Amino acid sequence: MSTVDLTGQVALVTGGAGGIGAAVVRRLAKLGARVAVVDLNAAGAQRLASAAGGIAIVGDVTDPSVMPEAVAQVEKELGRLDIVHLNAGIGGGQAGVDDALDVVRYRKLVGVNVDHVVYGLCAAVPALRRQGGGKIVITSSLAGLAAMPSDPLYTLTKHAVVGYVRAAGEALAADGIVVAALCPGFVDTLLLGAAKEEFDAVSFPLLTPSDIADALQAVLTDAEPGEAWIIQPGGQASAYRFRGVPGVGGGQMPPDVVLGRR
């Protein structure tokens, strides 16, 4: 695993009070960073923040005002912002392919998995520019790269995140800001819910939150702008290689056309 010294740097992690977020908070603190933990769970956020030598910020990341306020608080209390991990996420909980769509649950899913990512990135960019650059890592999923028929709505949100990362990564590269995505397989967290028993019954290998923290550490040192890194049990995290968009005669589309510049 690549080594990195984050002494003197400040990080912000959403969904940081448990699961993947908690593992990342602990890892960043171990590497020397002070960490701001953003979560709805006030007690959990405070506990992790105290251990990380950082601060706890309690808020609903689907509220458009929360991420700008969180970034402002981080700069005020910790003096700077260098690393942002937009990690908060929830499962779909419904198919979304029939007439029985629960719109309230759907909007919550999109609010956490997509809106918070946009709010968080837009809020963080000015702070990172003030430091001459930085890193934004967003938790997506393998469902952001391949269809997950058991949860089409979750698949929708995670595909959206990957597309956003790929575009934002190029758009912000000139500012020295690296935007990348983590795309893990199934991780042993509370998000699995009742499916955990089914996985255990067939001895299905699951990732641990520590595995994702390992991957994030690798991304901080090795990722290129716009990359989506795959993490699976027993393997090393690595960047997914996207194929080019096919053009006339089977060739690739010219970059300017792909990027909408013509």
* Full pLDDT tens readout for the chain, 262 residues: 567 899 999 999 999 999 999 999 999 999 999 999 999 999 999 999 998 889 999 999 999 999 999 999 999 999 999 999 999 999 888 888 887 899 999 999 999 999 999 999 999 999 999 999 999 999 999 899 999 888 899 999 999 999 999 999 999 999 999 999 999 987 766 665 656 666 566 655 677 889 999 999 999 999 999 999 999 988 889 999 987 777 655 555 555 444 444 3
Domains defined for the chain, CATH in brackets = 10-238 (3.40.50.720)
Please say whether the beta carbons of 227 and 169 come within 8 A: yes
Provide the sign of the torsion angle of the four alpha carbons 178, 180, 88, 1, taken in this order: negative
Contacts of 52 (CB under 8 A, 6+ apart): 25, 26, 28, 29, 33, 34, 35, 37
3-state helix, strand, coil in the chain (%, to 5): 45, 15, 35
Q: pTM, whole model, 2 decimals?
A: 0.90
Catalytic residue positions, numbered: 154
Longest distance between any two alpha carbons in the chain, whole Å? 59
Residue in 77, 16, 19 with CA at minimum distance from that of residue 210:
19
CA distance 169 to 131: 17
